[in-house]
Structure 1
Amino acid sequence: MSLEKALAHSKAGMLAESVRLNTVASNIASANAESTNANDAYKAKKVVFSRVMNRTAGIMELKAVGVQESQAQHKIRFDPGHPMADENGYVYGSNVNTIEEMTDMQSATKSYETNALVVGSIKQMMNKTLQLGK
């Protein structure tokens, strides 16, 4: 594999992981959101990845191709005095699992860092190669 293709792989990985990190950040920020019904309550989002052919670089690369909403159960609590309570006294919270989100964030961060290290190593190899030609 050429160094340019390796750079393209790492770039694609970094872009995909940045989408995942932004999605996780949005989920964590909305973890405590409340609503008067389950349909309007915040739904956790998950990034959908796929292997896509990059015809320019001639490689298969990982790409974020969409975002899906979680179908997990929303947090429901009985609090008739709450301003967001429905006619039955229930308040609906998000379905964000903060432990799962923090784990996902750590995984995405490590993957991003690994790709960044690869890019740094490739740049060093390219510089050494250019110095050999002098």
Structure 2
Amino acid sequence: MNDLGSSIAASASGLRAQAQRIRHVSENIANADTPGYRRKIVPFESGIGAGEGEGTVKVGRVTLDRSELARIYDPSHPLADEAGYLDGSNVDLVIEIADAREAQRSYEANLKMFDQARQMASSLLELLRR
């Protein structure tokens, strides 16, 4: 694959990975008040082992955060135990918002890289036509 194609493949894989990360961060934020919900963690891996090109990235296996769940005292809640406590979620909204911003900025950077490579390829084809 040529260099421009490799650039486009790398940025496209980054776009896919960040889009999936944003989706999981959104799920975490949406379930922040769901009792017993565990935060999803999205790891990134090199795409080389998956048969993709050099410089590509893919999302690894999504895991659940195993940190302690918040204990909430609400004896009127149907999920409360006999002492009146229930397990909350381990989602920290500050961390999720920071992750969302980071993913958004990375997505935008990959989009700009993709557009630049596409413009360069288009300019090269235009030069070759002359």
TM over 0.5: yes
The percent of aligned pairs where both chains have the same amino acid is 32
- Please give the secondary structure, in 2, of the residue aligned with 1:77: strand
**1:120 matched to 2:121:** no
**1:109 matched to 2:104:** yes
Report the Cα offset of residue 104 of structure 1.
Answer: 0.3
| Counterpart mapping for 1:41-56 below 5 A | 41-53=36-48, 55=51
Report the Cα offset of residue 71 of structure 1.
Answer: 1.3
2:84 maps to what in 1?
Answer: 89
Distance 2:5 2:116 in 1: 12
2:29 maps to a residue whose letter is I
Structure 2: which 5+ runs fail to align? none
TM-score normalised by structure 1 residue count: 0.87
Q: How many residues align?
A: 127
Structure 1: which 5+ runs fail to align? 35-40
Structure with more strand by fraction: 1
Deviations 1:35-94 (A, max 9, x none): xxxxxx11001012111316464x242111211110111111212122331111012211
**Structure 1 residues 104, 56: CA separation in 2 closer, same or farther (over 3 Å shift)?**
closer
Greater displacement, 80-89 / 19-28:
80-89
**Structure 1 residues 130, 60: CA separation in 2 closer, same or farther (over 3 Å shift)?**
closer
| Structure 1 outlier segments of 4+, above 6 Å | none
Alpha-carbon RMSD: 1.5
